[in-house]
Amino acid sequence: MNAVRMNLERLEIPAVDVVLEADVAVPRQAQGVVLFAHGSGSSRHSPRNRYVAGELQRAGLATILADLLTPAEERVDIQTGEFRFDIGRLAIRLAALADWLAEHRPTAGLRVGLFGASTGAAAALVAAAARPALMKAVVSRGGRPDLAGAALQSVHQPTLLIVGERDSAVLNLNREAMKELRGETRLEIVPDASHLFEEPGTLEQVAHLAGEWFLRHLPQTPGREGDAPESP
């Protein structure tokens, strides 16, 4: 396989009242950009999300892996778990990162997708509800969409829920969340996979499913702009 020509940047990005560290990768002629929302206790160095990001880049999608907590917040969270379930805080920062992507020259004009893992999926859905004109698709990996609460009913973007077959509690939560989501929604159950998709071949399936979803919904086509009003 030929190497993908890529613009790689490690940046510090202002997001409301903090500055977040992020890795931004933009392949030549990118078809969209995917913003990752990590799960509880994780960061932009998550090997699972970095693997998925690499596969999305090879498929022609830009990616941004950002720490949603500052280093000081991460130190507190390790001791107390104070911030990892603060879905509102994480969603506000995701929305701010998406706004930044709209102004960043390599990604300006690209439609944004969100890839959320575990609790990060809830933050992604809340952010999607807040930025419908910018965020155009959501993928959840082993997510907790139930933690998005009432915001689920304001999510009209196409949403793909990927859950491991052996992750029964989370699978039930995702089935219930599907009843609240208002846009196109699909549940994909990965055979023999547990919550972290550690079994051989399961994470590859996640990356494949996510890539198909984003390539279906993110590339710009005539008549798709302005399909949803911006929330105040």
- How much is the pLDDT for 40? 65
224 part of a folded domain: no
Among the residue ranges 5-19, 68-82, 202-216, the one predicted with the least confidence is 68-82
Q: What is the mean pLDDT of the chain?
A: 91
What CATH number is given to the structural domain containing 125? 3.40.50.1820
Count: domains in the chain: 1
Share of the chain above pLDDT 90, in %: 78
The answer on pLDDT for 216 being more than 70 is yes
- How much is the pLDDT for 3? 59
Pairing of strands 18-27, 6-15: antiparallel
* Main-chain phi, psi angles of 36, to 5 degrees: -95, 140
The answer on pLDDT for 61 being more than 70 is yes
44 part of a folded domain: yes
Residue 166 class from Cβ within 10 Å (0-12 exposed, 13-18 middle, 19+ buried)? middle
How far is the first Cα of the chain from the last one, in angstroms, to the nearest whole number?
A: 45
- If you average pLDDT over residues 21-44, what whole number do you get? 89
157 part of a folded domain: yes
199 part of a folded domain: yes
pLDDT, tens digit, for every residue of 138-163?
A: 999 999 999 999 999 999 999 999 99
Give Rg (Cα) of the chain. Answer: 16
- How much is the pLDDT for 228? 41
Find the domain containing 182 and state its range. Answer: 6-217
- How much is the pLDDT for 42? 67
- How much is the pLDDT for 175? 98
- How much is the pLDDT for 221? 62
The answer on pLDDT for 190 being more than 60 is yes
Q: Is the pTM value of this prediction over 0.85? A: yes
30 part of a folded domain: yes
Other residues' Cβ atoms within 10 Å of the Cβ of residue 140: 29
The answer on pLDDT for 227 being more than 70 is no
112 part of a folded domain: yes
pLDDT interval class at 84 (50, 70, 90): confident
